[in-house]
Amino acid sequence: MTRIGLVQMNSTNDYQRNLEFAHAQICKASQDGLNLVAFPETFLYVGDEKEDKLKIAQRLDGEIVTTFQEYASCYHISILMGSIYESVQGSSNYLYNTSILIGRQGNIQGVYRKIHLCDIDSPSLKNVESKNIRPGSETVVVDHEIGKIGLSICYDLRFPGLFQSLRAKGAEIIFVPAAFFLQTGTHHWFPLLRARAIENQAYIAAPAQWGWHYGDRYSYGHSVLIDPWGTVISCASEYPGIVSGTIDLDYLIDIRKRMPVMEHRRPEYYL
């Protein structure tokens, strides 16, 4: 068994403030003996200015990722950078929304670029992520020391096919760093997360943004760890901070053995 931490943040457009808060949570996670600490989507910047996003975006070998590699090595803890804005080579107008998994020795173990972009226009909510972001094109599962980790980001949660693909590639723990809107999170956050856990018989770890960011932009929060049976192990309260929980792969293996859903699939009839 191993313990992981999920950081709930109320990120703003103040990069330095967000970075200092993240650093403090890594220190706390290390002191608490956690094996891995995970951050939410765009945890170092939440703002509405495209120019600012382009300004802070970097390549994977830039100062931002290097800093967190140093943190991982210094505190001897794995870090999931839930997502940052990554520069797109050859483009000055678009970015990737990128999640980076760093091992406790400071090595980059996995890089995932958000595949599904949140473009919605409803009476209560409008968001066009594709005006700034290019979609990724590869699913990612990492053979990590705590288990086989699948990576996703926020809006990906609404696409069960992605999670089924991660499970088919061996994922045992799937991270869903998010900045879920308050308007949709109130109704959909827990049902979708529990469904992904149950149908894939996997741990779902979802560190989230919380609270007011700017204008009418609020995030739902409720960072949560859910086990393969769909049971909530731990859930954050209504404030920034870190919540932890235990991953038990023996329990996961037992559930998959007793109810071998993957072996019961008959995709020739519905794919």
Select which of 41, 53, 148, 172 is catalytic.
41
Are the beta carbons of 222 and 185 closer than 8 angstroms? yes
Q: Is 154 a catalytic residue?
A: yes
Q: Is 114 a catalytic residue?
A: yes
Select which of 53, 118, 148, 154 is catalytic.
154
Q: Which residues of 38-73 are buried (b: 16+ CB within 10 A; e: fewer)?
A: bbbbbbbbbbeeeeebbebbeeeeeebbeebbebbe
Q: Distance (Å, rounded) from C-alpha 149 to C-alpha 102?
A: 12
The alpha carbon of residue 89 and the mean position of all alpha carbons in its chain are separated, in whole angstroms, by 24
Select which of 86, 114, 118, 148 is catalytic.
114
Q: Is 131 a catalytic residue?
A: no
Q: Are strands 2-8 and 36-38 parallel, antiparallel or unpaired?
A: parallel
The backbone torsions φ and ψ at residue 147, rounded to the nearest 5 degrees and listed phi first, read 145, 180
Q: Distance (Å, rounded) from C-alpha 256 to C-alpha 177?
A: 25
Are the beta carbons of 119 and 129 closer than 8 angstroms? yes
Q: Which residues are catalytic?
A: 41, 114, 154
